[in-house]
Amino acid sequence: MYLFLLVGGGTLAWAAMGSFALLVFIPALCSVILICSLGPQEVHRWTFFFQMSWQTLCHLGLHYTEYYLQEPPSMRLCITLSSLMLLTQRVTSLSLDICEGKVEAASRGIKNRSSLFEHLCKALPYFSYLLFFPALLGGSLCSFQRFQARVQGSSSLCPRDSFWALTWRGLQILGLECLKVVMRGVVSAGAGLADCQQLQCICVMWSTAGLFKLTYYSHWLLDDSLLCAAGFGSEFRQSPGEDGYIPDADIWTLETTHRISLFTRKWNQSTARWLRRLIFQHGRAWPLLQTFAFSAWWHGLHPGQVFGFLCWAVMVEADYLIHNFANLFIRSWPMQLVYRTVTWAHTQLIIAYVMLAVEVRSLSSLWLLCNSYNSVFPMVYCILLFLLAKRKYKFN
C-alpha cells in the first residue's frame, strides 16, 4: 500500500509538473534521509531549516521570472511551488511529531549493521507519506499517525465516505462553480482598481475578493472530497492522542462571523492549526506577529503578501481588544444586534482588503489598493488599536 501511494504520487507529480517534479522529489528524499539519520531532538531543527531553505530558493526563482525578467511564470512551476508548500507542511508536521514523541524516531529502529533493504523498508512509510498522491496537489494536512493507521487498516479510522456524502460535496462544488461564473461576470463588467472612483472602489474590492473566496472554497471542497474518497478524511473515531481531521472550508462560519480572529482560525483550518503548532506555540515574544511573518515567508514573500499578512496580524490584535472592550459595555440585545451587524460588515471588508493585498503580484496594483478608499477600513481598526492599547496600559 505504501508503495502504491508513492508510485501514484510520483506519477501524478511527473504528469502535472514535468521536469519541475524534481524540485519536489529532491527535498522529499533529503528530508527522509534526515529523518532516518538524526535523533528526535535534532530532526525538527534540521528538516525545518533544509525544507524552508529549499522552498525559499524555489520562490526566489519565481521572483526572478516575474520581477526581473518580466515574464509570466510557467503553470507547471506554479503547481510545483504549491505542491512544495504542502510538502513543507508534511515534513515539519512529521518532524514535530517525532520531536514530541508522537511518532517513533526512525533512527531508533535502524541498527548500525542493518542491510540496505532494511533501511529502505524503514524509510518507505515516511517517503510514501510525503508524496502520497491524494494530498500531493492539495487538501487538508493529514498527520502521519492518520496516514499510517489508514494504510495499515486501523479500525479507528472511518471507512470511505458514503456515496451520498460525496454526492453532497459534488453538489456544493457545482453550486460554488455556478456562483463563480456569476461573480466573474460582475467583476469583468465593472471597473478595476485602476479605473474606479471613490466609493466605487469598495464594490470593486468586495466583488473581487468574493471571486477569490469562491475559488478557494471550491478547491478546498474538491481536495477534501478526494482525501475522503481515498480514506484519509473525516473519521467517526480516532486513536487516543491523534489529531482529528479538520476540513479546510467552514464556509458558514467564514461568511457569518463578525470576529476577524475567528475568521483567521477558520480560514484554511488545517494550515492555521499547523502554523499555530509550528510557530505560535513556540514564540516567546510577539507570537502572533511571528506567525503571520512566517506565513508570508512560507507563501513566497511577494510584496503584497508581506504587506497583507502583516496587516492581517495587526487586525487580529485589534480585533481582540475591540471585542473585549465592547463586551464590557454593550449589554442590551438591540445594541448587540447593531454592533454585530456593523462589525460583520467591517470584518468582511477588512478581509477583502487583506485578500486583495495578498493576491496582487505587482507593486503598482498594491499601491492602487493602498491609495483607494478601501484603506479606511483597516485604518479604523489601527486607530482603535492604538486608543484601546493606550487605555489598557493606563488601566494596568
Task: Output DSSP code: residue 134.
Answer: G
| Cα gap 151→159, rounded to integer Å | 12
The CA distances from residue 358 to 64, 299, 366, 370, in Å, are 19, 9, 9, 12
268 has catalytic annotation = yes
Length of the chain: 396
Three-state DSSP at 102 gives coil
| CA atoms of 196 and 297, how far apart (whole Å) | 32
DSSP states along 162-180? PHHHHHHHHHHHHHHHHHH
H or E segment at 83?
helix 75-99
* Closest to 232 in 3D by CA, of 293, 176, 159: 159
DSSP state of 68: I
Which residue is catalytic, options 258, 268, 302, 374? 268
Catalytic annotation present for 396: no
Q: Which of 255, 272, 393, 259 is nearest to 318 (CA)?
A: 259
Q: How far apart are CA 314 and CA 395, in angstroms?
A: 22
> How far is 302 from 343, CA to CA, in rounded Å?
30
* Alpha carbons 215 and 224: distance in angstroms, whole number: 14
Give yes or no for a contact between 334 and 384, defined as CB atoms under 8 angstroms apart: no
Q: Rounded to an integer, what distance in angstroms lies between the CA atom of residue 72 and that of residue 91? A: 30
- Answer yes or no: are the C-beta atoms of 40 and 5 closer than 8 Å: no
Active site residue ranges: 268, 299
